Structure 1
Amino acid sequence: MDAMLNLTEPLKRYFGFETFKGDQEAIIRNVLAGRDTFVLMPTGGGKSLCYQLPSLLMEGTAIVISPLIALMKNQVDAIRAVCGDDGVAHYLNSSLNKGAIDMVKSDILHGKTKLLYVAPESLTKDENVDFLRNVKISFYAIDEAHCISEWGHDFRPEYRRIRPIINEIGAAPVIALTATATDKVRGDIKKNLGMTDAKEFKSSFNRPNLYYEVRNKTKNVDKDIIRFIKQRPGKSGIIYALSRKRVEELAEILRANDINARAYHAGMDSATRSQTQDDFIMERIDVIVATIAFGMGIDKPDVRFVIHYDIPKSLEGYYQETGRAGRDGGEGLCITYYTYKDLQKLEKFMEGKPVAEQDIGRQLLSETAAYAESSVCRRKFLLHYFGEEYHEENCGNCDNCLHPKKKVEAKNQLKELLEVVQAVKENFKADYIIDVLVGKETDEVIAHKHADLDCFGCGDEHEEKFWNAVIRQALIAGYLEKEIENYGILKLTAKGRKFMKKPESFMVSEDNEFEDDDEEVVSRSGGGTGVTDPALFNALLDLRKKMSKNLNVPPYVIFQDPSLEAMATMYPVSIEELQNIPGVGAGKAKRYGKEFCDLIRQHCEEYEIERPEDLRVRTVANKSKLKVSIIQSIDRKVALDDIASAKGIDFNELLDEIEAIVYSGTKLNIDYFLDEAMDEDHLLDIYDYFKESETDSLAVAMDELGDDYTEEEVRLVRIKFISEMAN
């Protein structure tokens, strides 16, 4: 192929572009010259053009191997549209019947087809291998090439068979393309495809238009997501969650709150998936909720936000999924919810897998955790992970840069860290290094005799959390690196050795705090509650205290803390809006609501707060029938144990339901049951206790009341008390 061939003419003729992006032209010339080519280009960088254009210019048919059946159809349609010929591009995968397959083969044999998209599973079928042996192949393009590597985020064993199959079909140049690959994955791909001499083209991974933020994942995550989407009406977005069940539930909750959302995962039939995808592209749907595990081949340029409901299993997966936002260069908001519990859950999923696979999985998870917890620039962290240096100190477009943490001098601590790495012969991972630093005598440390080292325990004045931050920031600053072959082992760099001889200033910022949401710690500062507006929350607490004094009822009888938290987040200003707050039924809203609404309205005016318009967070009404049925049974004075039997639930579950009913403001009279089932003195003692108590906590009540009373009795009387005093 003539090296001086003018490529801008066919680029304009077929694709309508005046100029190439980045390395596109150099990549295409390399392919046209018949050389193996390795392309590392971020999502949205224009990878597909790198094999589509040369296929149209070369003799024969190009084979494109891609794992995404959904994307194949889109790309084939696009090529057919630009060429005005249906025969020019085809795909072969499990979605085609025999008649369709025969038509594809006929077009190929007649020389009409320049591009054939094949799923790796289809490529390995004997009848396809036999057929392709008789076809003139211009080159092989392996898309999503990271699937070859066990260290890639979407490893597929069938990708390992691509090279032997290529050898069977017939040799031709190979172009491997991926949007995410660390040095380790890159080496794996080239070795496995037998293309170690390939010319490599690596584009920058920096996507300046993407905003990265990690949020603490609390119980209010659904509300937070609803509020976020409601503030961006009509904008397209993708939400990733870990399980199909969660995807279905979340899509349903969003729809219940008037958000046009649909679920999308591998368990759905292909017709539904295709329809959902088309609806998203055609903007009949605003939001897609999808499983992380399922690669969505959605090539939509104006996705405005990508939300990770659960932390992804690897930073490569995270980068590729967030990369679906803002491909047109416009706004792209990438919000991730993180809690350490999710990490533990993912680790648990690995149990039972081969040990080597578990090790890889844990290493990848630790990188994701480091990204979430680190307070350094998110962009800098991501680019460093992909082997690219980012020299800006503040990118101005991530949460850590917009709200930087205070930095402290850690020159001495870095020196201690590097000395420990050197003392253990640069042969261990971060966790082990920290054990030596803080002086933790683990079995492994004792076995290696590292408790005898002079530097053992030299960093015991700091916690493990601090040392984690120092290690992460030392890696980014280039004092340490991770070994590529035995990934995760910390090695000193030339810069690190130089520092040990002549230390210089090294500033670190502490990692971000991610509180567990088990105990809702409510402090007067509003800390730990997850409320948006601590000042309003404190004002609501004061109002509740005042009213409790005037009405002579405990504060929790008026509204419980979670209800006040929700008010300080959602700003209800009318009785109707107040009823959408969890734990506030019509009765409570009517009885106590006016003063709370007045206070919230006044607060919004004073601080010029823009309330989320018409924010009604409705839960999906899956249990409402049960609740209605329980209320009707109690009205008919059916014994509570009989109600439980009739509903097929145990007695404690029934009490859970009844508590939810009375706490939201509905009055229930269970005296008929208490008179039969309870000792009168016990009943009066427990009732009097709740009258005096500052809290309705069951644990505190059991502690105060002593062993004479059962938990069941206390719960039953608490229901009577709340119903009479609050509703």
Structure 2
Amino acid sequence: MAAVSDPVSALHRIFGFPAFRGVQEQVVARVLAGQRTLAVMPTGAGKSLCYQLPSAMLEGTCVVVSPLIALMHDQLRAAQAVGLRAATLTSVDENRAETRGRFLDGDLDLLYVAPERASTGDFRDLLDRGRIALFAIDEAHCVSEWGHDFRPDYRLLRPLLDRFPDVPRLALTATADEHTRADVLEQLGIPHDGMIVAGFDRPNIRYTITPRDNTPRQIADLIARTPGPGIVYVQSRAGTEKMAESLARTGRPVRVYHAGLDASVRAANQAAFVESEDMVICATIAFGMGIDKPDVRFVAHAGLPKSIEAYYQETGRAGRDGDPAVAHLFWGAEDFARARQRIAEVEPARQPGERARLTALGALVETAGCRRAILLRHFGEQPPETCGNCDNCLNPPAAVDATQVAQKYLSAVFRTGQMFGAGYIEQVLTGQSTERSLMNGHEALSVWNIVTADELRLLKPVARALLLKDALRTNPHGGLEFGPSARALLKGEATLPLVEPPKRERRRRGAGGGADANPVDDPLFEGLRACRRDLAKEQGVPPYVIFHDSVLRDMAAMRPATPAALGRITGVGQRKLDAYGDAFLKVIADHS
């Protein structure tokens, strides 16, 4: 692509955007000035544009280090769609010799490589013979041992970067707390004043967190009211298969993704999801970092994520196109019990950090306040007290003092010998006579049938809260026993405030906060989507690579009649106007 001197003109001509968003302009200006930069920008804020645009303006090739082949190929398609000369150099590419030749001939704006290849001597020798415009290190938190996706090969990049000291370097990430950011700066040789933090807020995502109660049914309800593609994260491989089987009954196409599948099946399922406009994929956390799909309308967690950083990154795969999206976490007290058991098994030096991460997750799930505020404070921001787009802000829950019920529950656990599970403890507290309670003599205990009718609905939430706060733990046989926080509650030295459990209700389709692609049921919009679908199939790319839904909605609203008018719509760059303009103008004319 010919060099362009004015960034705003290049932005409009290549990408069809009239202006930069957020800190994009600052980042691009630093890159064009030859400076070293770490950009911390939320998912969906346009990180890739910060190196793609300079690649069209600088002499030479921008070398992009990216962690996953699937992610590289997604970005490759997007770059080529706007007219950038781009290639990948990966183990699955059969045209590696051609790509090397194009790089040496100066015929590439972008060259995508994995960190494993970038750190080899052979690749360094290749770069010595060509012209490099910029190093871009995507998912840069992978360089830090403090990050949640640490990749050792990222720590081998520094010698390569230092071999070309005059080439600007740009590190990009969406998920890095303060400690991780400092490590990234040090590992990649970027000065502290070269860090630009755009903030972590994703205002278009609605955060909702609910206790588990028949999770497949709960997620089926979420799917029924949320049109568009979605991801369901399940904690085990077997769990993904079982969840997919259950969700297939909703009528939506459902596929599975986990490391136990044959590689060809994984690749086929991922490709089908990327190309679909309504598919649900049930996956372990092995799925996601390699997906640059902008139109995911919901992300559901069927269990507790590893950390707030992991939760933020996984939920961040929803709504990258800026349209409304939903992040719904379903959790159970047993998640925290299992997490504590895992922490006890790691080396002692890591345990304090792991416990801190679990405590932060506990604060997120049990709060009666704004979920978004807790997330943003975790990343060092000072957000408003309410956001207006999480479950607690939209429907503020009532808080109750459950201390007395907690004391009754703990007393029942103690007096029955700290060896029975939650179901049996509830039977004792509510006076449900069974052969076991008679045989054990528990019906004569002072805790037998001491829960009032008003307290009955609090028993399950109290049990969850006690496990979450480590006042109760589960033994290897599933029985409940005291944890370190039990004594203070029993002695009245601590209280147990509790979010009042919500009434169970089913909601109608479309009421879940996701974006209905065609909210006004406009036949022109559907015609434009059909046109996009045909073009995508013909080109062998996902539909969103042609245009996002938001661009089609603008076409349907503005009804441009000429190429010039179509080119004024945000997201319609020159290359896409030349390639697809006539097809979409014909659809608009046919509906006029």
Shorter-chain TM-score above 0.5: yes
- Please say if residues 130 and 169 of structure 1, whose CA atoms lie closer than 8 Å, have aligned partners that are also in contact: no
Equivalence for 2:281: 288
Q: Which of structures 1 and 2 has the bigger CA Rg?
A: 1
Question: What are the equivalent positions in structure 2 for 1:122-521 lying under 5 Å apart?
Answer: 122-168=117-163, 172-218=167-213, 220-232=214-226, 234-283=227-276, 286-350=279-343, 353-391=346-384, 393-405=385-397, 461-463=492-494, 466=496, 510-512=497-499
Counterpart of 1:75 in structure 2: which amino acid? Answer: Q
Counterpart of 2:65 in structure 1: which amino acid? Answer: I
- Please say if residues 239 and 306 of structure 1, whose CA atoms lie closer than 8 Å, have aligned partners that are also in contact: yes
The CA distance in 2 between the partners of 1:14 and 1:274, in whole Å, is 31
Q: CA shift at 1:65, angstroms? A: 0.9
The CA distance in 2 between the partners of 1:105 and 1:351, in whole Å, is 49
Query: Which shows bigger deviation, 284-293 or 205-214?
Result: 284-293
The CA distance in 1 between the partners of 2:316 and 2:504, in whole Å, is 29
Of 96, 109, 112, the residue aligned with 1:114 is 109
CA displacement 1:286-313 (0-9 Å, x = unmatched): 2111212443332233222110111110
The CA distance in 2 between the partners of 1:171 and 1:348, in whole Å, is 49
The CA distance in 1 between the partners of 2:508 and 2:36, in whole Å, is 57
Please state whether the residue corresponding to 2:335 is helix, strand or coil.
Answer: helix
The CA distance in 1 between the partners of 2:151 and 2:7, in whole Å, is 35
Cα 1:385/1:24, change in 2 over 3 Å: same
The CA distance in 2 between the partners of 1:302 and 1:284, in whole Å, is 8
Question: What are the equivalent positions in structure 2 for 1:51-70 lying under 5 Å apart?
Answer: 51-70=51-70
Cα 1:259/1:511, change in 2 over 3 Å: same
Please state whether the residue corresponding to 1:253 is helix, strand or coil.
Answer: helix
Cα 1:134/1:339, change in 2 over 3 Å: same
Equivalence for 2:75: 75
Please state whether the residue corresponding to 2:157 is helix, strand or coil.
Answer: helix
Equivalence for 2:504: 532
CA displacement 1:604-663 (0-9 Å, x = unmatched): xxxxx9799xxxxxxxxxxxxxxxxxxxxxxxxxxxxxxxxxxxxxxxxxxxxxxxxxxx
Counterpart of 1:68 in structure 2: which amino acid? Answer: L
Equivalence for 2:88: 91
The CA distance in 2 between the partners of 1:610 and 1:231, in whole Å, is 6
Q: CA shift at 1:32, angstroms? A: 0.7
Please state whether the residue corresponding to 1:303 is helix, strand or coil.
Answer: coil
Q: CA shift at 1:119, angstroms? A: 0.9
Cα 1:379/1:9, change in 2 over 3 Å: same
Q: CA shift at 1:14, angstroms? A: 1.4
The CA distance in 1 between the partners of 2:348 and 2:161, in whole Å, is 31
Cα 1:136/1:355, change in 2 over 3 Å: farther
Equivalence for 2:24: 24
Equivalence for 2:584: none
CA displacement 1:5-37 (0-9 Å, x = unmatched): 421111122111111111111210100111011
Tell which has more relative contact order, 1 or 2 (C-alpha 8 A, sep 6+): 2
Q: CA shift at 1:327, angstroms? A: 2.5
The CA distance in 2 between the partners of 1:407 and 1:344, in whole Å, is 24
Counterpart of 2:42 in structure 1: which amino acid? Answer: P
The CA distance in 1 between the partners of 2:223 and 2:26, in whole Å, is 41
Please state whether the residue corresponding to 2:251 is helix, strand or coil.
Answer: coil
Cα 1:216/1:459, change in 2 over 3 Å: closer
Cα 1:157/1:294, change in 2 over 3 Å: farther
Equivalence for 1:619: none
- Please say if residues 313 and 361 of structure 1, whose CA atoms lie closer than 8 Å, have aligned partners that are also in contact: no
- Please say if residues 241 and 247 of structure 1, whose CA atoms lie closer than 8 Å, have aligned partners that are also in contact: yes
Cα 1:149/1:93, change in 2 over 3 Å: same
The CA distance in 1 between the partners of 2:155 and 2:358, in whole Å, is 23
Cα 1:260/1:59, change in 2 over 3 Å: same
Query: Which shows bigger deviation, 147-156 or 282-291?
Result: 282-291
Please state whether the residue corresponding to 2:297 is helix, strand or coil.
Answer: strand
Q: CA shift at 1:284, angstroms? A: 5.9
Equivalence for 2:578: none
- Please say if residues 117 and 123 of structure 2, whose CA atoms lie closer than 8 Å, have aligned partners that are also in contact: yes
Equivalence for 2:46: 46
- Please say if residues 94 and 122 of structure 1, whose CA atoms lie closer than 8 Å, have aligned partners that are also in contact: no
Question: What are the equivalent positions in structure 2 for 1:667-706 lying under 5 Å apart?
Answer: none
Counterpart of 1:299 in structure 2: which amino acid? Answer: D
The CA distance in 1 between the partners of 2:138 and 2:193, in whole Å, is 16
CA displacement 1:23-56 (0-9 Å, x = unmatched): 1112101001110111011000000000111112
Counterpart of 1:532 in structure 2: which amino acid? Answer: R
Q: TM-score, normalization: structure 1?
A: 0.54
For these two proteins, the number of residue pairs brought into alignment is 429
Cα 1:47/1:223, change in 2 over 3 Å: same
The CA distance in 1 between the partners of 2:61 and 2:192, in whole Å, is 24
Cα 1:169/1:274, change in 2 over 3 Å: farther
Q: CA shift at 1:158, angstroms? A: 1.6
The CA distance in 2 between the partners of 1:22 and 1:269, in whole Å, is 41
Query: Could you list the runs of 5+ residues in structure 2 that have no partner in the other structure?
Result: 402-468, 471-481, 511-592
- Please say if residues 144 and 184 of structure 2, whose CA atoms lie closer than 8 Å, have aligned partners that are also in contact: yes
Q: CA shift at 1:102, angstroms? A: 1.0
- Please say if residues 236 and 302 of structure 1, whose CA atoms lie closer than 8 Å, have aligned partners that are also in contact: yes
- Please say if residues 133 and 170 of structure 1, whose CA atoms lie closer than 8 Å, have aligned partners that are also in contact: no
The CA distance in 2 between the partners of 1:150 and 1:104, in whole Å, is 33
Q: CA shift at 1:144, angstroms? A: 0.7
Cα 1:131/1:511, change in 2 over 3 Å: farther
- Please say if residues 224 and 509 of structure 2, whose CA atoms lie closer than 8 Å, have aligned partners that are also in contact: no
Percent identity of equivalent pairs: 42
Q: CA shift at 1:285, angstroms? A: 5.0
Q: Cα RMSD between the aligned structures? A: 3.3
Cα 1:185/1:231, change in 2 over 3 Å: same
- Please say if residues 38 and 198 of structure 1, whose CA atoms lie closer than 8 Å, have aligned partners that are also in contact: no
Please state whether the residue corresponding to 2:327 is helix, strand or coil.
Answer: strand
- Please say if residues 368 and 399 of structure 2, whose CA atoms lie closer than 8 Å, have aligned partners that are also in contact: no
Q: CA shift at 1:61, angstroms? A: 1.5
Q: CA shift at 1:337, angstroms? A: 0.8
The CA distance in 1 between the partners of 2:17 and 2:48, in whole Å, is 14
- Please say if residues 230 and 278 of structure 2, whose CA atoms lie closer than 8 Å, have aligned partners that are also in contact: no
Equivalence for 2:10: 10
